[in-house]
Amino acid sequence: MSSFFLFLFLSLSEYVNNRIKIQVFKHSKSLFVMSPPFDQSTTNFHSETEPADAAEVADIENELEANLSINSDPWRHVVAGIFCLLSITNAMQWITFSAIFDETRRYFGMTAVQVNYLASTYVIAYVVTVFLSCKLYEVMGLRVGIVVAALANTIGASLKLVALYAWPNMILLYISQVFNSVTEILTIATPPLVANRWFPVKERVVANTVMSIALAVGCGLGAVYPVLFVTPEKQEQRHFGHLFWSQFGMCGTVLLLTIFCFPARPRCSPSYAAALNEKAEQRKWIVRGDTQYNQRADVTPVDANRIQHSVRPLTQYDEGDPGIRPINIFSTLADTFRALRTNPSFVFLSLASATELGLIWAMATVLPQCLLPFGVHESETGWISFLNLVLGSVVAPFVMRFIGYRWKHRTTLLVISIILLATILVWFLCFQFGPTDEEKRSYYVISAFVLWGGLAGLCQNFMMPIMFEFVIELTFPMQESTSAPVLTWTACLTNLILTIIFGEVLGNEPTRKDVMKVFIGTMVVSVIGVAATFLVRPQRRRQDFEALMIRRRNASIALEAGEGGARARSADKRGD
C-alpha cells in the first residue's frame, strides 16, 4: 500500500517537475554547476559510476577553481533540528506497540505474531519501496521529500485515533503503520544526504551522526513513552487515547515546522562534494529535455550559453552515462547493481549492515518477549531499551568527531561488532546458568540492564552513522540518496526475517528454552557481521576528492598572485 501511495505521488509530480527544475538554475547561481571529478594522475573517482573524457575533466576542474564559493548557510542547524524531530516522532510510533505488547494484544484482540507485525510493517514497506524514495528525492528535491514524510507521519498518527474511537480493529492499526512507514522510508537513510548538502566538511560527520541517532533516540523514547500512559493496570480506551493524542500533537507540530521553516536548498555550497552532487542532479534535468531554458525570458543569453556549454560534452554519453540518464526507478536499480558488482567493499559493508543493524532492530522488537519468561516486566524492559538506545546516542557525537578526524571507519566498526558478539555471549551464559527461583528475578533485570542496556548500548547504536559515512567514502560520487539506502535496505530485510523467525520461536507464551534459541541465533548472525566487516577494504574517495580540489584551488591562487606580482614589477620597470 505504501508503495502505491509513493508511486502515485511520483507519477503526478512528473509534469510539475520540469517546471520546478527551471527555477533551480535561476536561484542557485551560488551553487556552482559541475560534473563528477576525475584526476587521471591521482585518484580515479569515476571508475565505478561515470565515464568522462579528459577534455571535459579539464574544463570542469578549471571552472570549479575559478567560480566555486564555499560557505555555510546559517539555516543548516534549523534543518537538522527539524529533521531530528521528524525522525524521533516517527521512530516513537514504530516501536510503540512493542512496548505495550500484552495490552495491545488484549485490547485489539490480536495474537503475539500480529502485534510483532505492527513494527515489521515498517521494514516490509522499506524493503519493497526504498528505491521509490530515491526517485522522489531525485525528482522533487530534499524539501518536498521531507514534507511528504511529515505529512504521512501525521496521517498515520491520526488513523490510530480513528482505530481507537471509531473502529477498534487491527486493520486500521496496520494502515496507520503503513503511512508511518512512508515517513521511515524517506528519513532513515537521509541523514548523510542532508549533512552533505547543508553542512561544511568540519561539521558534516557530527551532523550526520546527530541526525542518524535521532532514530535511536526515538526508538528509546518509544520504548518508555507508551508505558507512561498504558500499563497492565491502565489499559482502557482513555489510556490509549492519551497516548495516541499526544503522538498526533507532536507529529502535527513537526509537519507545520517542515512546511514553514524548512528551506528548499542552501544559499551557497558548503563543500566541493555538495557542489558535485548538485551538478549531478542538474545534468539529469538538462538531458531530460529542459530545452525551454533558451526560450524563457528569465534566462539571459549568458545563462543560456552556459547551459548549452554544459550540455554539449555531456550528450556524447547519452544513455551510457548513469549520471545523465532520465530519472526512473530502473536506472536507480541499475546504478546500484553496477556499484555492487564493481565494488566488493560495498557488498561486504552492505552485508555487515544487514547482520549488525538488522540484528539490533530485531532484538529491540522481540526484547519484551525474550525477558518475559525471566520475570522482567514490560515497564522494566522499556527502560532497558531506553538505556540501550540513549547511551549509544550520547556517546556517538564524541566518538564520531574522533572518527571523522582519523577516518578509522573499518577499525571502529570491527571493534563494535566484536564487543556486541561478546556481550550477547555473556548474556546467554548469564541467563542459561542463572537461578531458576522466580523470586530472584532481580538477577535477570540487573543482567539485562548492565549487558544490553549498558555495555551494548554504549557502542552499538552509532554503527549506523559510521556506516553511512563509510559507504559514501566507498561509493563517491554516487548519490547519497542511493548508496545509504542500500545499507538500510539490507538491514531492514534482515530485521524482517529475524523478527519473523524470532517471533515464531517465542510464540504467544515464550519459555526460557525458546529464549536461549533466540540468543544462539543472534550469536550466529553476529559472527557473520564480524566477518563481513573484516573483509571491507577502507577507501576515502570523497575526502581525497575534496583535498585534491583544495590543493588545486590553492595552487591556482598562488599562481595568480605570482603572475600579478610579475606584472607589477614589469610595470615598475617600464615606469623607470
The per-residue pLDDT for 553 is 72
Q: Using pLDDT thresholds of 50, 70 and 90, give the confidence band for residue 169.
A: confident
Helix residue ranges per DSSP H, 53-166: 54-67, 76-99, 101-107, 112-140, 142-165
Work out the angle at residue 224's Cα, subtended by the Cα atoms of residues 222 and 226, and round it to the nearest 5 degrees. 70
Strand partners, 70: 269
- Give the dihedral of Cα atoms 317, 318, 323, 327; nearest 10 deg: -170
Write down the pLDDT at residue 178.
Answer: 92
Query: Mean pLDDT across the chain, nearest whole number?
Result: 76
- For residues 165 and 191, the answer to whether their CB atoms sit within 8 Å is no
Residues 192-199: what's their mean pLDDT? Answer: 87
In this prediction, residue 51 carries a pLDDT of: 38
What does the pLDDT read at residue 477? 76
CATH topology of domain 76-263+332-536: Growth Hormone; Chain: A; (1.20.1250)
Closest CA to 7 of 326, 289, 329: 329
C-alpha cell at position 41: 594522475
pLDDT recorded at residue 203: 84
Q: Which of 154, 146, 137 is nearest to 89 (CA)?
A: 154
Determine the residue type at 311.
Answer: V
CA distance 221 to 93: 10
Least confident of 165-169, 179-183, 388-392, 517-521: 388-392
> Where residue 299 falls among pLDDT bands split at 50, 70, 90?
very low
> Looking at residue 341, what is its pLDDT?
85
Domain ranges of the chain: 76-263+332-536
The whole-number pLDDT of residue 389 equals 79
- Write the pLDDT tens digit of every residue in 39-68: 433 344 444 444 333 444 444 444 545 455
Question: What pLDDT was estimated at residue 557?
Answer: 72
Q: What is the mean pLDDT of residues 280-309?
A: 44
Q: Is the pTM of this model over 0.75?
A: no
Of 56-65, 187-196, 276-285, highest mean pLDDT: 187-196
Indicate the pLDDT class of residue 220, thresholds 50, 70 and 90.
confident
Q: Which residue has the higher pLDDT, 554 or 454?
A: 454
Dihedrals φ, ψ of 10, to 5°? -70, -35
Distance CA 219, CA 229 (A): 17
